[in-house]
Amino acid sequence: MKIRKFLQKCFKQFFQFLFKIFYGSVKLNIDLKNIKLLKKKKIINIKSDIEGVKDYHVYKIIKGRVYTDYVNHVAVISKNDLIDKISYQQIHGELKDASYNTVLKKGTPAIKKRIKGSVLSIVQGASGNNYGHWLLEMLPKIKLCSEHFPIEKIKYFYTPNLNKFHKETLSILNIKDNQIIDSKKYRHIEADELITVDHPSYYKGFIKDEFKLQPTWVIDWLKKTYLPHAKKFNSSKKIFIDRTDSLSNHCQFINQNEISDYLTRKGFVKYQLTKLSFLETVHLFKNAEIIVGAHGAALVNLIFCVPKTKVIEIKPITQTQTIFERLSFINQLEYRLIQTKKIDEHKKIEGDIDLSLDELDKCFNSFI
């Protein structure tokens, strides 16, 4: 086994060495003024309402390159200069400066795909195609770009690997499937004109804390863009978000059936969002009067709720993200949080939320 790992390491290093010969070594450039093929434009009409957050910019790089390992790193490169500030490197959940980017040591070990025309890059590693990150971070980059470059004039979009949901959101923006370049398939591209933008909200610190800086303009834009296209169906006003279809095993009820039966008696209808289209989900949340659900990406759809909608979020005390409280504040929702105690490790096979009906009852009564 040790010999096998040693040989794999040697092969990997040799592979990286070959690509350094093909494409050259990459060096860090922290002064954008020295990059002759780059043009930076300030965005005037979009401002974050978070105190201390910097202005937004759009960047255009002639013959610009992007390399991603599709996990933690995105390198934006002009010639062989790694461009500071707009490259992305997340190490153990923390956003680091460009000196940590993997290309400085390993180069760009993937065959380069040359793209004729303009490409907007919205990639940021593995988190990019997650439901919440896609809505709150990836799509708003398209809006930021449109302040200087009309979307209809951009030929291609460099994105995470997309599924039906992602494509549905893009279709509303008149972006077609044949305009998508999949960064999971093509880790390394060069475009005649590469366009990128500042991140809407994440500039420093740990990704679990980034949503504290969620700007209001993103929520307003998403509502304006997608609410008119909501696909109506006969949905309940009282909804319980069922996460048992989630690929993740966190934020699951140990007593799922007991909670579900209790809510059914109160007139709630259970929904698994994987069974709905994106635009049906938009309608579901727009139409709701009260929503109960465990902490998870489904609650990002609070974006589409009308003011005064009642929300009960349930999460274990080990979950520290406050994104749904922030979304509720922006949308003027009546938000309640139930935090459950840490449970024994042997019980986590069944779930990590042990919620008593008395606690849930008490929360319902707080709305009266």
Domains in the chain: ranges and CATH: 22-223 (no CATH), 232-365 (3.40.50)
| Residue recorded with tokens 């840490």 | 342
pLDDT, residue 152, reads 95
pLDDT, residue 144, reads 97
pLDDT at 101 over 90: yes
Report DSSP state, residue 128: G
- SS3 state of residue 334: strand
For all residues of the chain together, what is the average pLDDT?
90
pLDDT bracket for residue 7 (50, 70, 90):
low
Range of lowest pLDDT (16-30, 36-50, 66-80, 133-147): 16-30
> What is the number of alpha carbons within 13 Å of residue 309 lying toward its C-beta?
29
pLDDT, residue 11, reads 62
Radius of gyration of the chain measured on its C-alpha atoms: 23
pTM of the model: 0.92
Angle of helix 139-146 relative to helix 216-226, nearest 10 degrees, comes to 90
Burial 321-333, CB ≥16 within 10 A → b, else e: bbbbbbbbebbeb
Would you state the structure tokens that stand for residue 195, as one six-digit string? Answer: 């366009």
pLDDT, residue 320, reads 83
**Which residues have C-beta within 8 Å of that of residue 25, sequence separation ≥ 6?**
80, 107
What digits encode the pLDDT tens for the residues 309-361? 999 999 998 888 899 999 999 999 999 999 998 776 555 555 788 899 999 99
pLDDT at 53 over 90: no
Of 41-45, 95-99, 338-342, highest mean pLDDT: 41-45
The sheet with strand 269-271 has its strands ordered as: 269-271, 238-241, 290-294, 310-316, 334-340
pLDDT, residue 350, reads 59
What percentage of the chain exceeds 90 in pLDDT?
67
Judged by phi (left if over 0) then psi (alpha if -120 to 50, else beta), residue 125 lies in: left
Would you state the structure tokens that stand for residue 45, as one six-digit string? Answer: 């009409």
Cβ pair 196, 76 in contact under 8 A: yes
pLDDT, residue 1, reads 62
| Helix or strand holding residue 82 (H, E) | strand 81-83
pLDDT at 249 over 90: no
What digits encode the pLDDT tens for the residues 106-152? 999 999 999 999 999 999 876 677 899 999 999 999 999 999 999 99
CB atoms within 10 A of CB 201: 18
What digits encode the pLDDT tens for the residues 177-231? 999 999 999 999 999 999 999 999 887 777 777 777 789 999 999 999 999 999 9
pLDDT at 30 over 90: no
